[in-house]
């Protein structure tokens, strides 16, 4: 996806503050953080949203989720707590159509969310 913002970050065409990378997953700090830790964990392979997932994506979704938890633990938030969110389409506030898991931690997070 040549016009996808997160694909451009993955290809290093746009800079980002990268916190983790492997062959399948990239994690970087959100440019507009909503908590002391606010990272985005993304599959390197472009997927528009959760609505586009197929059974072949089960492994990468698992990797993304487990990586978010590992980053939270590494940064000391495993016991305190952290929130993980996938926004899908307009009413949920999705603005970038490349699947990304928000990882938020470091402050009290209210429920229900706004
Ligand atoms: P969503 O609204 O769920 O689609 O989340 C998109 C997120 O991407 C927002 O939290 C933005 O702040 C974040 N974002 C947009 N552009 C960048 C960028 N260049 N680098 C890092 N995060 C970004
Ligand atoms: Zn993309």
* Per-run averaged pLDDT (10 residues), the chain, 114 residues: 93 98 99 98 98 98 98 98 98 98 98 92
Residue 54 confidence (pLDDT): 98
Q: How close is the Cα of 42 to the center of ligand 2, in Å?
A: 9
> Closest Cα to atom 1, ligand 1: which residue?
94
**pLDDT number for residue 114:** 83
Q: Could you say which ligand is closest to the alpha carbon of residue 33?
A: 1
Question: Does the predicted model carry a pTM greater than 0.85?
Answer: yes
Of 24, 46, 100, 102, the catalytic one is 100
Q: Identify whether 100 is a catalytic site residue.
A: yes
What are the backbone angles phi and psi of residue 17, rounded to the nearest 5°? -90, 95
Instruction: Report whether residue 30 contacts ligand 1, using a CB cutoff of 6 Å.
Output: yes
pLDDT at 2: 78
Q: Give the Å distances, CA to CA, from 47 to 14, 61, 95.
A: 19, 11, 14
For 43, other C-beta atoms within 10 Å of its C-beta total: 21
């Amino acid at each position: 996806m040549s016009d996808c913002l997160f694909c451009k970050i993955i290809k290093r065409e746009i800079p980002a503050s990268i916190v983790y990378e492997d062959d399948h997953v990239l994690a970087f700090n959100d440019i507009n953080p909503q908590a002391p830790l606010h990272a985005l964990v993304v599959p390197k392979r472009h997927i528009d949203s959760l609505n586009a997932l197929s059974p072949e994506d089960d492994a990468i979704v698992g990797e993304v989720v487990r990586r978010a938890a590992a980053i939270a633990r590494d940064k000391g938030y495993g016991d305190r707590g952290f929130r993980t969110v996938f926004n899908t389409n307009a009413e949920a506030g999705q603005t970038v159509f490349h699947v990304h898991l928000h990882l938020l931690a470091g402050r009290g997070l209210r429920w229900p969310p706004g």
